[in-house]
Amino acid sequence: MELRALFLFLFLVHLNVLMAQDTQFSQYYSNPMFLNPALVGINQQGSAGVNYRNQWPSINANFESYSFYTYYNFDDVSSSLGVILNSDREGLAGLYARSAAVQYAYQVRLNYNWTFRPGVEVGYVWKDINFDRLTFGDQFDDTGLIASQTIESFNTGLSVEFMDLAFGGIIFNKQAWLGTSFHHITEPNQSISGDESPLRIKFSLHGGYKINFSQINARWASKEGKERSFTPSFNFKDQQDFTQLDVGMSLMLEPLMLGLWYRGFPSEDFSGIGASDMVMLFGVKMGPTLVGYSYDFTLSDLGFRSGGAHELSISYSFDLRDVKKPPRGSRDVKCPVPFIF
């Protein structure tokens, strides 16, 4: 009994470390609602998308994340509404986290060049653990694993549920944008063991600048009207003891998309999950559909043994308005954030 109590204590301490940092997506602009509630409806139409991430697939402590979102922009009231569903699983500890949230954003035309969008998210989160994937001493002998189940008895019903709140904003013109978001405003208690483990506020500052090839040389413009551009961008995140910077560039040679980012702080001894990576992206645009694949090359001590991280995104844009009626927002500035149109 004492050994089991000690195991549970150490196990729950390990879980609190895992739960201290939010899931992250390398293709953060391919999941705009996950990044910032102000980005809901940012394409001024409707959109639906799915994101999947498998981090460190070559080791038992891998992380799998799924995300689904859909939103629509209502021109007549300068408002956008959307729903996002998320699911995360940690392989070693059997920790599951699921969430559902509703987002709303309002678009404000500041002047001829600049637009501002504030946004809010209200969500609900479920977290629980499952010991089924763990093995114990009574399952082994000198020859190895001999039993698929342990005789140890654990409380596998450990779980927690709570409301969650986020705010965000973004300001942009036709080439530049700067956004910020604050998740977990109320810092809810996420402990599954009954003690105190507040989910700390996650702060994000993100921005970029889009440069069309035609601005450099008019002869580089596409004769078919397809996009030719490159976009340097960044995403700074801070949550409790985790501080991280993604910086890189995306290249659009429609229908192809290419991207390269660095994640981490090379001047700091930081060992957060996925804190030091090189991220490569390849995507294809097929009409209203965007498909992207990225791979994270792990630069930490785990190296290639971890299997890096694979990420897949698929999104589809749609417009339910009467095609004969010109949209109210047709004169609005289009946000240059990549991979959302």
Q: Give per-residue pLDDT as tens, 195-235.
A: 788 999 999 999 999 999 988 887 777 777 788 999 999 99
Q: Is residue 336 part of a domain?
A: no
Residues in the chain, total: 341
> Would strands 289-298 and 277-286 be described as parallel, antiparallel, or unpaired?
antiparallel
Q: Is residue 181 part of a domain?
A: yes
Checking 6-13 for CB contacts under 8 A at 24+ apart, the result is 8/154, 11/93, 12/192, 12/193
Choice between 299 and 285, residue whose per-residue pLDDT is larger = 285
Residue 49 sits in which domain range?
2-331
Q: Is residue 337 part of a domain?
A: no
**How many domains does one find in the chain?**
1
Q: Is residue 159 part of a domain?
A: yes
pLDDT of residue 154: 54
Average pLDDT over residues 289-307: 82
pLDDT bin (cut points 50, 70, 90) of residue 328 is low
pLDDT exceeds cutoff 60 at 281? yes
Q: Is residue 341 part of a domain?
A: no
Average pLDDT over residues 124-131: 84
pLDDT of residue 223: 73
Q: How far apart are CA 281 and CA 289, in angstroms?
A: 16
Q: How far apart are CA 241 and CA 13, in angstroms?
A: 16
pLDDT exceeds cutoff 90 at 265? no
Q: Is residue 281 part of a domain?
A: yes
CB of 160 closer than 8 Å to CB of 191: yes
Q: Domain holding 144: CATH number? A: 2.40.160.40
- Specify the range with the lowest mean pLDDT, choosing from 201-205, 219-223, 252-256, 276-280: 219-223
Q: Is residue 117 part of a domain?
A: yes
pLDDT exceeds cutoff 50 at 137? yes
Q: Which residues of 46-71 are buried (b: 16+ CB within 10 A; e: fewer)?
A: bbbbbbebbbbeeeeebbbbbbbbbb
Q: Is residue 214 part of a domain?
A: yes
